[in-house]
Amino acid sequence: MPNEINKPVIGISCGDINGIGIELIIKTFGDNRILEQCTPIIFASNKVINFYRKSIPEVNFNFQSVRETNRVNHKQINVYNCWEEEVNINPGQLTEAGGKYAIKSLQVAIQALKDSSINGLVTAPIHKKNVQSPEFNYSGHTPFLKVAFGAEDVLMLMVAENMRVGLVTEHLPLSEVAGNITRQAILSKLHILKESLQKDFRIDKPKIAVLGLNPHAGDEGLIGKEEEEIIKPAIKEAKHANILANGPYSADAFFARGGHEKFDAVLAMYHDQGLIPFKSLAIGTGVNYTAGLPVVRTSPDHGTAFDIAGKNKADESSFRAAIFKAVDIYQSRIEYAQNRANPMKRMSEVVLTNVEDEKIEESGEGA
């Protein structure tokens, strides 16, 4: 969606109103230089913003309220009021209201994304327990967004400057992980990962490392059969589909020896296998990106942090990185589409323009 100053409009959902989400937003956009990169529209309420702004007096955070998501001020921070009623704010506490208004913010933001009023979405953290309701029966943002945008499959992709780690399974009990590691699941994630690396990260021929499920990647079947019966066949099939995938690698040795630096991305089998090394090595600048959606969505790589909520202790580094990554991916997608536009169509447009110019010159118009 073009705008008059050619920078994307990035929507921000507020997350749990009792967590650190609003504090992260205020600290991130307190630096007005970020307005050179994007136009922010925050989906929350003026009252919640002002509540947390008082606890961060050293940050100069000014905003304007907007009534329509497609009419924003590109030189200011915009706040769209998703609700007008008074809400009890209890920093650090897990309350029903915290979850209710987090989802209300998210729903309005997603509608704006569907309407193309915003170009990308950055979601502040929610708590998985208090958001559960008939309207939100999901383990987190990723599966909810998958359904909201009708995607066949999506990939939780953790991104930092020095590594990218995708997950085959996400928020599952460890006892259920092995049963969800299938050849089709691995292939689906590899296809999404390859396409995302090309379209979203400007990597023409991405190299992907695939981790094993068991210790030592199964030791040739001595410690589990998944590598031999599922993961290796999936990698072989991926190669036939022109995906440069290698593995399976033993997860501990892979990261310990810097294997992630030799590949464009890593596909881990389950949550902690991928996120423990990622968060250890990303040094606070990690971003959670949902690959496979028709839209751009990022978030910081951490949760609500109730233990420090309202205490002006939250570090906004990951949230700021999520904003920049959303902008960068949006621009990458535009470049990708332009580079692969129909060359014959572009040529015919050029020829037609030249013919029209010649006609104008012959008629003497425009002289």
CA distance 57 to 251: 45
CA distance 147 to 166: 19
pLDDT at 69: 87
Mean pLDDT of the chain: 92
Strands 207-211 and 297-300: unpaired
Contact between residue 78 and residue 44 where contact means Cβ atoms under 8 Å apart: no
Question: Residue 313 burial (CB < 10 Å; 0-12/13-18/19+)?
Answer: exposed
Question: Residue 90 burial (CB < 10 Å; 0-12/13-18/19+)?
Answer: middle
Provide the phi-psi class of 123: left if phi over 0, else alpha when psi is between -120 and 50, else beta: beta
Boundary residue ending a domain (239, 256, 291) = 291
**Residue 262 Cα distances to 93, 103, 165, 208, angstroms:** 43, 39, 13, 9
Q: Is there a single domain that holds both residue 188 and residue 89?
A: no
Q: Given a cut of 80, is residue 122 above it in pLDDT?
A: yes
Q: Is there a single domain that holds both residue 18 and residue 83?
A: yes
367, part of any domain? no
Q: Given a cut of 60, is residue 4 above it in pLDDT?
A: no
Q: Is there a single domain that holds both residue 11 and residue 89?
A: yes
Question: Hunting for tokens 């099939």 — which residue is that?
Answer: 237
204-213 burial, b at 16+ Cβ within 10 Å, e below that, comes to eebebbbbbb
- Report the chain's C-alpha Rg in angstroms: 23
210, part of any domain? yes
Alpha-helical regions (H) of 6-45: 21-29
Q: Is there a single domain that holds both residue 86 and residue 228?
A: no
Q: 148-192, pLDDT tens digit by residue?
A: 999 999 999 999 998 999 999 999 999 999 999 999 999 999 999
Domain extent at residue 167: 152-291
Q: What CATH number is attached to the domain comprising 257?
A: 3.40.718.10
Strands 287-291 and 63-66: unpaired
Question: Hunting for tokens 């991926």 — which residue is that?
Answer: 238
Q: 282-330, pLDDT tens digit by residue?
A: 877 899 999 999 999 999 999 999 999 999 999 999 999 999 999 999 9
Name the strand (E) or helix (H) holding 141.
Answer: helix 141-148
Q: Is there a single domain that holds both residue 184 and residue 252?
A: yes
Q: Is there a single domain that holds both residue 340 and residue 225?
A: no
Q: Is there a single domain that holds both residue 208 and residue 277?
A: yes
Q: Is there a single domain that holds both residue 257 and residue 342?
A: no
Give the pLDDT band (50/70/90) at residue 135: confident
**How many other CB atoms are found less than 10 A from the CB of residue 73?**
13
pTM: 0.89
Q: Is there a single domain that holds both residue 233 and residue 204?
A: yes
Q: Please give the average per-residue pLDDT across 191-203, as a whole number.
A: 98
Boundary residue ending a domain (257, 291, 325) = 291
Question: For the chain, how many structural domains are there in total?
Answer: 2
If DSSP states are collapsed to H, E and C, what string results for 156-219?
EEEEECCEEEEECCCCCCHHHHHHHCCHHHHHHHHHHHHHHHHHCCCCCCCEEEEECCCHHHHC
- Token representation of residue 167: 């997950």
